[in-house]
Structure 1
Amino acid sequence: MSTTNVKKIVKQFGIKASAQKRIRGGIYRIVTPEGRKFCLKRMTKQIARLRWIDRMLMHVQRSGPLLAWRNPQNPEGRKPHAISQKGEFFVLTPWISGREPSPLSLTDMRACGIALARFHKAGQNALKGDISHSQIGMWYSTLHSRQQYIQKKIAKAKTNSFSLPISRFIQRHGPEILRYANQAKALLRSSGYESYRQSPRKNGVLCHGDGGPSNFILNENGTYLIDFETLHVDLRAYDLYRVIYNSCKDYRWDFSIAKAILDGYREVAKLKKTDYKLIRVWLRFPFTTYLVLSPFKRFPFTESRLQWALDSERRITSFLHKLEEYETRH
């Protein structure tokens, strides 16, 4: 998007952009003439969903958790969103200065766990029985559709529809990948999910949806949550899974990282046996392999990436044993 168009959008919020920097697609850092910094972010949601996100986050902010969201007490925060010439929705939030937490720092990971638990507690109060945009009942269908996608890729590999090295790799390891997917579905059936699903108002929380090191910011004020385009209602186990997955996958599934996250979370809220079982469901599904098989830019569809993904799935086996031991102790 051109500099002029960015300035026009920012102007709708009542501020002037003296400088701007594209962070990545649809996200810009804006600096005003007075030196104040903001984040301009495109939200790929319909207006009703965007209004719901805004309403939920405004309520959560009043309960204390640190969020990168608008403050209606400030002039630039009075307008919930702006619309570009193309009809795209944009939000303007404070630019949170600080650093991303490092999975190599257990102190950082513990802080993320604490921040997520506080967000969940405040979010339950915000919902007050409103379970709009809930994915609580969709776990079976989500796992099933992803498994079907993997199966279709395996079927294509059997006809050598990909390059020969990729086709041979998938033919050789396809049964193992599907075994992990079936194990995840079996874990879900024995997890207690049905009782949770039947009481969504009791068990649902406001779920960030894509927690991980890149969606927390640490500074002298505390731990902020940022980027809320995936906000929805779900079980808290899903959010914990996302933070654990995104924090551990690039660090050879070092369980001490997950332990620090869970320790932090438990400082604020208790976890039940079913919560741990539900976390294991998502961790066991071969999601990294699914991403490599998908048209996902960050994970190119190559033999080396497929091997990397399979190695990751294999490490999760021992990781899950350690998670089960952690559950027994706590």
Structure 2
Amino acid sequence: MTDRTIARLAQAFHIRVKSMRIVKSGVYRLETEGGRAYALKHMRYPVRRILWMDRTLRRVRKNGFAGICWRDPRQIGGKPLFVRLRGKKATYILTPWIQGRQPSPDSSDDLRACAAALARFHLAGRRAAIPRQGALDLTGRWPAILKARLSLIRKYVSKAKTAGNGNELDVWLRKNGDDLLGRGEQALGLLERSPYRRLCRVSSRSRVLCHGDSGPKNFVFTGDDPKLIDFETLRLDLRAYDLYRLIRLACKHRGWSFAAAKAVLEGYGGVSKLEPGELRLVLAWLLFPNKAYKILSRSGKTNAKGRRALTDELRSAAAADLRLPSFLREWDDYAREGGKT
């Protein structure tokens, strides 16, 4: 996007840009002549979904959770909600740029603070009378989602087994595919034996809000308290999914050290008590080979060079998960003890 286009978008948000830099594809950091900083984001969602995000997050703020990075219509840059340039379909939003530091997955104190903030976010969402119109609602859909993902993995494993010598990807899948399928079946079995349906019925009545991508990178510390950022994945879903995201990404960084998971569970449980069935839901997601699914879902669109790169990704993911069985045993011990620290 050209500087001129960014200036036009900024003008539509009633700010004047002094400088800008690209953060990542579709995201720009803007600084105004008055020294304020903002994030300009390309939103690849229907307008009705953006309207739902806005209504929901403003209600969450009114219900006691101020730690969100979202527009304030009373502030400069807070109006309008989104902008489209004339003749263009692309939709952009503007949010404040929070100055601070990202949490360190190596710090148990940081992880406890992030988990506590996540719990407060969930509690405020329960009080907020969240609207349903325009929402992405995944309540009750986990079995179908995981079955579809397992079906894709099974397709590629079956193809590899009948492909003769095949390519590097086929060779890797012939050796490791049954392990992936076993993890997937185990996760689905755990989900079927869990109180998932009951929790979904309760969630459907109270409309539980879920961030959807609650890893450490989507928290920013300003002083002692972390704030949540990047709400593109905001949805209605069980809070266990947000816990899974925070635990997986923190633990993966620390070589599947259970201390990271324990810090998250301590921080969350200190604000909002978790029931044992919710720990089983988190465990089901941790068991499922989601990384392998994401890699294989891209394999149909690649050439031979691309498939070699995907095979390297699968090897790397498998190496990163070598300590997962030990982690899961510690998880089981923790759950049997009732989450006592």
Residues 236-266 of structure 1, C-alpha deviations (whole Å, 9 max, x = no match): 1011001111222232211111111111111
Q: Which residue of 1 aligns with 2:65?
A: 64
Q: Which residue of 2 aligns with 1:46?
A: 46
C-alpha separation between the residues in 2 aligned to 1:203 and 1:129? Answer: 11
Q: Which residue of 1 aligns with 2:266?
A: 263
Give 1:156 shift.
Answer: 3.1
Q: Which residue of the other structure, out of 209, 230, 233, is the alignment partner of 1:230? A: 233
Q: Which residue of 1 aligns with 2:23?
A: 23
C-alpha separation between the residues in 2 aligned to 1:197 and 1:241? Answer: 17
Once the two structures are superposed, the pairs formed by residues 123-162 of structure 1 within 5 Å of their partners are 123-127=125-129, 130=132, 132-160=135-163
Once the two structures are superposed, the pairs formed by residues 58-137 of structure 1 within 5 Å of their partners are 58-62=58-62, 63-85=64-86, 86-127=88-129, 130=132, 132-137=135-140
C-alpha separation between the residues in 2 aligned to 1:284 and 1:75? Answer: 46
C-alpha separation between the residues in 2 aligned to 1:256 and 1:33? Answer: 45
Pairs aligned (count): 329
CA distance 1:161–1:246, shift in 2 (3 Å): farther
Give 1:213 shift.
Answer: 1.5
Q: Does 1:316 align with 2:332?
A: no
> More displaced, 77-86 or 66-75?
77-86
Once the two structures are superposed, the pairs formed by residues 141-290 of structure 1 within 5 Å of their partners are 141-160=144-163, 164-202=167-205, 204-220=207-223, 222-290=225-293
**Is the 1:204–1:235 Cα contact (8 Å) retained in structure 2?**
no
* 3-state SS in 2 of match to 1:40: strand
> More displaced, 123-132 or 113-122?
123-132
* 3-state SS in 2 of match to 1:329: coil
CA distance 1:146–1:122, shift in 2 (3 Å): same
**Is the 2:130–2:207 Cα contact (8 Å) retained in structure 1?**
no
Give 1:304 shift.
Answer: 3.3
Q: Which residue of 2 aligns with 1:9?
A: 9
C-alpha separation between the residues in 2 aligned to 1:244 and 1:204? Answer: 23
CA distance 1:171–1:271, shift in 2 (3 Å): same
C-alpha separation between the residues in 2 aligned to 1:198 and 1:187? Answer: 18
* 3-state SS in 2 of match to 1:30: strand
Give 1:203 shift.
Answer: 6.0
**Is the 2:112–2:267 Cα contact (8 Å) retained in structure 1?**
yes
Residues 113-156 of structure 1, C-alpha deviations (whole Å, 9 max, x = no match): 01100110011112357484220111011001111111122133
> More displaced, 193-202 or 178-187?
193-202
Q: Which residue of 2 aligns with 1:307?
A: 315
Q: Does 1:329 align with 2:338?
A: yes
C-alpha separation between the residues in 1 aligned to 2:165 and 2:195? Answer: 40
C-alpha separation between the residues in 2 aligned to 1:69 and 1:14? Answer: 17
Residue type at the aligned position of 1:91: I
> More displaced, 122-131 or 103-112?
122-131
Give 1:164 shift.
Answer: 2.6
Give 1:326 shift.
Answer: 2.1
* 3-state SS in 1 of match to 2:208: strand
**Is the 2:56–2:131 Cα contact (8 Å) retained in structure 1?**
no
* 3-state SS in 2 of match to 1:31: strand
* 3-state SS in 1 of match to 2:55: helix
Aligned-residue CA RMSD (Å): 2.2
**Is the 2:52–2:131 Cα contact (8 Å) retained in structure 1?**
no
Q: Structure 2: give runs of 5+ residues left out of the alignment.
A: none
Residue type at the aligned position of 1:207: C
Residue type at the aligned position of 1:133: L
* 3-state SS in 1 of match to 2:128: helix
* 3-state SS in 1 of match to 2:127: helix
Q: Structure 1: give runs of 5+ residues left out of the alignment.
A: none
TM-score by length of 2: 0.90
Task: Among all aligned residue pairs of Structure 1 and Structure 2, give the percentage whose two residues are the same amino acid.
Answer: 36
